[in-house]
Amino acid sequence: MPPVYLTDQQILLFQGASDQFVSTDIGISNFSERAYRYITQLVPNEFVAFGTLHIQEKTLDIGASRPLPRFEEAMYGLGETMGQHRLFNWDPTINQGKPFQRSDFYSEREFRQTGPYSQALKPLDVDNHCAVYVPAGNQEVSFFGIERKGGPDFSQTDRSLLTLAQTLLSSARKLALEREQLMSKVANPNALIRAGLTIREADVLTLVANGASNGDIAQALVISQETVKDHIRNIFAKTRMTNRFAAALWALKATERDRTRSTIRHLPRTIVPVRF
């Protein structure tokens, strides 16, 4: 596939949508809602679905970006037929994990003869589907489905924008899952200092991990937004993270590791006699 070069306007669209996405606090309860809004800013659609396949239980949790009267019925139909079709079978290895779409597998005519179309997409009045895998660890296999009605298939520009967004969506999902699981869900600046950040970098990253925007951080620390951006660039370099969600996840893990080390240091000592 030849490379697709985005125009300046498309790059600005991506940057603006991404800045808005990362400026909001992310957790399990609001991840899909925030992501729906982000994806829709990048790629027009009738609706976006987000589903998580639980392999051991063989169940699929799935929702949509807007109310759809026949959604539950359609999803049961999808569950019965999706395993036979690579476009829908929740395989994270398809297209090497990058976004893929209906035209990668079927012509329009062929697609209309498949079970997923007749059982799921047709009842929802859509006929073009693009899937975006969200890597988030071994706990789940999750995908976004971007659905359209009529017109041309998703363009290479659409797919390029979704490919760029995929890393951010994955980082946000990992952060949401980690916050749900960690005992310590608030970053500790002292722990971040011990992990290698300066005092001010630790303050900035603590606020980032709590969902604060650059404006919020500047106001809280009485510094300029440009200074906040400088600190965040330094944080990315030191932590080797590439976006705010990933850096926030690093902060939570660093806090949890520090808490665990502190607990171990303060465990009662046991003196064991040893013979020589």
Structure confidence by residue, pLDDT tens digits, 159-169: 999 999 999 99
Say yes or no: 110 and 80 in one domain: yes
Say yes or no: 23 and 127 in one domain: yes
Q: Over range 247-276, report the average pLDDT.
A: 63
Q: What is the pLDDT of residue 139?
A: 72
Q: Which residue, of 156, 181, 206, is where some domain finishes?
A: 181
Look at residue 245 and tell me whether its pLDDT is greater than 60: yes
Q: What is the mean pLDDT of the chain?
A: 87
Please tell me the distance from the alpha carbon of residue 133 to that of residue 218, in angstroms, as a whole number. 35
- Judge contact between 130 and 146, C-beta under 8 A: yes
Say yes or no: 13 and 122 in one domain: yes
Q: Which residue, of 131, 156, 181, is where some domain finishes?
A: 181
Model pLDDT for residues 6-20, shown as the tens digit of each residue? 899 999 999 999 999
How large a percentage of the chain has pLDDT more than 90?
A: 64
Say yes or no: 230 and 102 in one domain: no
Residue 158: inside a domain: yes
Q: Over range 246-262, report the average pLDDT.
A: 84
Q: Which residue, of 162, 181, 200, is where some domain finishes?
A: 181
Higher pLDDT, 55 or 216: 216
Collect contacts of 253-256 with beta carbons under 8 A, ≥24 apart: 253/178, 253/182, 254/187, 254/191, 254/192, 254/195, 255/184, 255/186, 255/187, 255/188, 255/191, 255/192, 256/182, 256/183, 256/184
Q: What is the pLDDT of residue 184?
A: 52
Q: Which of the four pLDDT bands, split at 50, 70 and 90, describes residue 3?
A: low
Question: Cα–Cα distances in Å, from 17 out to 10, 20, 24, 198?
Answer: 11, 5, 12, 30
Q: Which of the four pLDDT bands, split at 50, 70 and 90, describes residue 2?
A: low
Task: Pick the range with the lowest mean pLDDT from 57-66, 69-78, 120-129, 198-207.
Answer: 57-66
Q: Which of the four pLDDT bands, split at 50, 70 and 90, describes residue 58?
A: confident
Residue 276: inside a domain: no
CATH number at residue 37: 3.30.450.80
Say yes or no: 82 and 112 in one domain: yes
Residue 267: inside a domain: no
Q: Which of the four pLDDT bands, split at 50, 70 and 90, describes residue 185?
A: low
Q: Over range 108-127, report the average pLDDT.
A: 93
pTM over 0.75: yes
Please tell me the distance from the alpha carbon of residue 21 to that of residue 39, in angstroms, as a whole number. 10
Say yes or no: 166 and 51 in one domain: yes
Residue 266: inside a domain: no
* Number of structural domains in the chain: 2
Say yes or no: 23 and 149 in one domain: yes
Residue 92: domain span: 8-181
Say yes or no: 228 and 207 in one domain: yes
CATH number at residue 232: 1.10.10.10
Look at residue 271 and tell me whether its pLDDT is greater than 50: no
In this structure, are strands 59-64 and 141-148 parallel, antiparallel, or unpaired? unpaired
For 102, what's the count of Cα atoms within 13 Å in the CB-facing half-sphere?
25
Q: Over range 60-85, report the average pLDDT.
A: 90
Say yes or no: 160 and 203 in one domain: no
Residue 212: inside a domain: yes
Q: What is the pLDDT of residue 261?
A: 66
Q: Which residue has the tokens 């999803």?
A: 75
Please tell me the distance from the alpha carbon of residue 6 to that of residue 3, in angstroms, as a whole number. 10
Cα dihedral 98→99→105→106 (10° resolution): -170
